[in-house]
């Protein structure tokens, strides 16, 4: 039986070449390269990203690595972020719109540890925002990057589970089936029954899964000034929407797309526009609604005179 190495042998790092393996002195995790991934892997991911940006909405396969977080917990987003992050970046991580949900905390800590990068909770201050399930309420601007964690990159998977077949459908832009699904919903329910991960058409060519954001967030993707990157680790796909690209939610002319939002105001900041979480306050049907975007809500609360918030 071989001895258990106490730490990574230094020669390993040297062999990879050109790496900035930390000795742990800068507060970064010892024995790992900046951003955790080795430089060759980052190069591979960046090449994939370039291809993805060049073909908006097209899923590009990539050699997704095992990450120290489980598949399905954001490994795709983490790899994309790790490939584009640098020491001068300022990272914001949200899950369900909030900076302080456990998974967001865990991912933010991971990057603070392996990239020694500055973090923030302010949408405005972030240069990279990694997100699960939301787009911030504060409009993103040029120069920012939003990285979506994607569990299922294939928008057609519920209609056609065979990946070889869906790839063909994308190649031929053969999306009639998706519209048939919308037609069936309207025939049965009077409306499209999709409320999140609502399929979009990117640049008039590729059908794309926006990741499980609420359909409320879909309009924010259209002609967004920021670069949108999508990483699906387990499914090993990356795709992208370059700045100012048309992103259209599928619909019919006489049944236009309608984003879903609870018809209420935030109990904390009073916002009538933001996407709301429902909070059950007792077991007798009592409930209030609060902003799911915590930074947005805090900013609004801070801007209000004290009494108004009470």
Which residues are designated catalytic? 57, 266, 269, 291, 297
- Contact flag: residue 266 with Zn ion (CB under 5 A): yes
Q: How far apart are CA 217 and CA 252, in angstroms?
A: 19
Interacting partner of 121 out of another protein, Zn ion, none (Cβ under 5 to 8 A depending on kind): none
- Listed ranges 8-16, 165-173, 250-258, 294-302: which one lies at the site for Zn ion (CB under 5 A): 294-302
Interacting partner of 266 out of Zn ion, another protein, none (Cβ under 5 to 8 A depending on kind): Zn ion
Q: The tokens of 287 are what?
A: 């409930």
> Least distance in Å: CB of 220 to Zn ion?
17
Q: How far apart are CA 32 and CA 115, in angstroms?
A: 9
Closest CA to 247 of 205, 285, 203: 203
> Least distance in Å: CB of 298 to Zn ion?
8
Residue 268: which residues within 8 A CB-CB, separation 6 or more?
Answer: 290, 291, 297, 301, 309
> Least distance in Å: CB of 44 to another protein?
8
Interacting partner of 234 out of Zn ion, another protein, none (Cβ under 5 to 8 A depending on kind): another protein
Strand order in the sheet with 247-249: 206-208, 200-202, 247-249
Q: How far apart are CA 17 and CA 81, in angstroms?
A: 21
Q: How far apart are CA 68 and CA 152, in angstroms?
A: 20
Q: How far apart are CA 304 and CA 245, in angstroms?
A: 35
Beta bridge partners of 93: 130
Beta bridge partners of 278: 289
> Least distance in Å: CB of 183 to another protein?
5
- Contact flag: residue 291 with Zn ion (CB under 5 A): yes
1/88 with CB nearer another protein: 1
> Least distance in Å: CB of 124 to another protein?
21
- Contact flag: residue 268 with Zn ion (CB under 5 A): yes
Q: Provide the 10 A C-beta neighbour count for residue 165.
A: 11
Interacting partner of 269 out of Zn ion, another protein, none (Cβ under 5 to 8 A depending on kind): Zn ion
37/140 with CB nearer another protein: 37
37/156 with CB nearer another protein: 37
- Listed ranges 13-21, 103-111, 199-207, 262-270: which one lies at the site for Zn ion (CB under 5 A): 262-270
175/242 with CB nearer another protein: 175
- What phi and psi values does residue 189 have, to the nearest 5 degrees? -115, -5
Rule CB under 5 A: choose which of 269, 292, 294, 295 binds Zn ion: 269
Q: Provide the 10 A C-beta neighbour count for residue 306.
A: 7
67/291 with CB nearer Zn ion: 291
> Least distance in Å: CB of 2 to another protein?
5
- Contact flag: residue 52 with Zn ion (CB under 5 A): no
Residue 203: which residues within 8 A CB-CB, separation 6 or more?
Answer: 56, 57, 245, 246, 247
Chain residues in the site for Zn ion (CB under 5 A): 266, 268-269, 271, 291, 297
């Amino acid at each position: 039986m071989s001895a258990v190495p106490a730490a990574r042998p230094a020669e390993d790092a040297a062999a990879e070449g050109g790496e900035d393996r930390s000795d742990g002195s800068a507060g970064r995790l010892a024995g790992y390269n900046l951003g955790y991934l080795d430089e060759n892997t980052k190069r591979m991911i960046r090449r994939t990203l370039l291809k993805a940006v060049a073909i908006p909405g097209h899923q590009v396969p990539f050699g997704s690595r095992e990450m120290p977080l489980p598949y399905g917990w954001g490994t795709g987003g983490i790899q994309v972020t790790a490939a584009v992050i640098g020491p001068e970046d300022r990272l914001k991580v949200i899950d369900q719109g909030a900076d302080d949900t456990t998974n967001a905390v865990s991912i933010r800590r991971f990057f603070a540890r392996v990239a020694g990068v500055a973090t923030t909770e302010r949408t405005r201050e972030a240069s990279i925002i990694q997100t699960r399930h939301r787009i911030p309420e504060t409009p993103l601007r040029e120069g920012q990057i939003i990285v979506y964690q994607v569990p299922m990159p294939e928008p057609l998977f519920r209609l056609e589970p065979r990946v070889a077949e869906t790839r063909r459908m994308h190649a031929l832009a053969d999306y009639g089936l998706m519209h048939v699904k919308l037609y069936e919903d309207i025939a049965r329910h009077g409306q499209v029954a999709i409320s999140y991960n609502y399929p979009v058409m990117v640049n008039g060519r590729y059908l794309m899964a926006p990741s499980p954001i609420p359909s409320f967030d879909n309009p924010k993707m259209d002609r967004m000034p920021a670069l949108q990157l999508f990483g699906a680790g387990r499914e090993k796909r990356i795709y992208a929407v370059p700045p100012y690209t048309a992103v259209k939610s599928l619909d019919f002319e006489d049944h236009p797309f309608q984003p879903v939002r609870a018809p209420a105001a935030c109990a904390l900041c009073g916002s009538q526009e933001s996407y709301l979480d429902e909070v059950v306050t007792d077991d007798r049907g009592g409930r209030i609604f609060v902003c799911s975007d915590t930074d947005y809500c805090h900013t609004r609360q801070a801007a209000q005179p004290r009494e108004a918030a009470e």
